[in-house]
Structure 1
Amino acid sequence: MSPPQSAGPGDDVPADIVEIERALTRVAHMLTRHRRHDRTVAAAGVPVDRAAVPLLRLLADTGEPMRPGELAARLAVEAPHVSRLVQRLEKAGYVERVPDAHDRRAQRVRLRAEGRDAVECIRAVGRRWMHEALGSWSEGERRLLAELVNRMVDDFLAHSAERDHHAPGP
């Protein structure tokens, strides 16, 4: 095991954890840069702003219409932000509002076929880019990376849920 390295005042963590955090920060920064987004949507032929992509992906991944508040919670953003995104995506023809089957006063946001196509085009460009960037990696190395990253995300989610469960109420 690596010797502890100070990550902050009074916080000793192993050096490998510090390196994982640094690598994840670099990846997150690289993947969320404006220039990268602009190149991706241009190559995909999808004129959608950077903030809308996670909402479209979430709707595509769930496959079900979602309430705006639920979208905001899952995306960890404020509800007014989601409302503005939904309005822009509606105008572009990517999503539509539909009545909530359980509460006629409420509405859900549903991905339209155009939105599903947009998400798939964006994903295809990203996958091609990733395939090119990891071109010198063997299939086994890529498979191991995918397995470890998925395991890490699952563990992060489980840890967050556990912390949320034990957090003091308001």
Structure 2
Amino acid sequence: MAAPSSAAASPVPTDIVPTDIVEIEKCLTRVAYLAGRARQHEYLMAMAGLTLDRAAVAILRRLAETEPMRPGVLAGLLAVEASHVTRQVQQLERAGYVVRAADPHDRRAQRIELTDAGRAAVDRFRDASRVGMRMALADWSDEDLRRLAELFHRLVDDFVTHAEAPADPSLGLRVPDPTA
């Protein structure tokens, strides 16, 4: 295996990144940290009356958005190893939140589906999460909330659009040479 090139190891010069982008990145990192803390998860689980770990909640939420699907597809969407999904699905199946069903396009394969209990758990978790969000944003005006929602939708759409795009050399970003 080749050693990483010096271009790959050197940081992106911050003087070419606008200050607003730096601040947005800092804020998003902080929000992700605050939302993903174990204490926050436990608080939401208590509010929802559930005892699910974060991985189980991620699986149930994804299935609620796009179900049913094969375990490998689910693992790809969650960016985790298939074995992690398999273990979680087994636990969720034992708890009655999901079932496995034959894939109508390939009877040898299985898809994971939410049960009514799984849908109810997702609804309870989402409701608790929304109450927490409402508490955090209680002092915001309706117009500010509408604008924030609009900007977040735009941000997500742009992240999805550019998720696989190579870095733009004109921005001074260094892309490691895979052949080096």
TM-score (norm 1): 0.88
1:104 alignment partner, SS class: strand
Per-residue deviation, 1:128:
0.7
- Secondary structure at the aligned position of 1:132 is classed as helix
Q: CA deviation at 1:9?
A: 4.5
- Counterpart residue number, 2:139: 136
Calculate percent identity across the aligned residue pairs. Answer: 54
The corresponding residue for 2:50 is 46
Give structure 1 regions of 4+ aligned residues with deviation exceeding 6 angstroms: none
Q: Which residue among 14, 20, 39 is the counterpart of 1:16?
A: 20
Matched, 1:146 2:138: no
Mapped to 2, the partners of 1:66 and 1:72 lie a distance apart of 10
1:30 aligns with 2:21: no
* Alpha-carbon distance in structure 2 between the residues aligned to 1:128 and 1:19: 27
**Any gaps of 5 or more consecutive residues in structure 1?**
1-7
Question: How far apart are the structure 1 equivalents of 2:159 and 2:12?
Answer: 23
Corresponding residue pairs, total? 159
Select the structure with the greater relative contact order (CA < 8 A; seq sep ≥ 6): 2
1:73 aligned to 59, 72, 76, which one? Answer: 76
The aligned amino acid for 1:90 is E
Match for residue 62 of structure 2? 58
| Alignment TM-score, normalising by the size of structure 2 | 0.83
Distance 1:115 1:130 in 2: 22
Counterpart among 125, 130, 133 of residue 128 in structure 2: 125
Tell me how far apart the structure 1 counterparts of residues 59 and 164 of structure 2 sit (CA, whole Å): 21
Rg larger for? 2
- For 2:83 and 2:23, locate their aligned partners in 1 and report how far apart those are by CA, in whole Å: 36
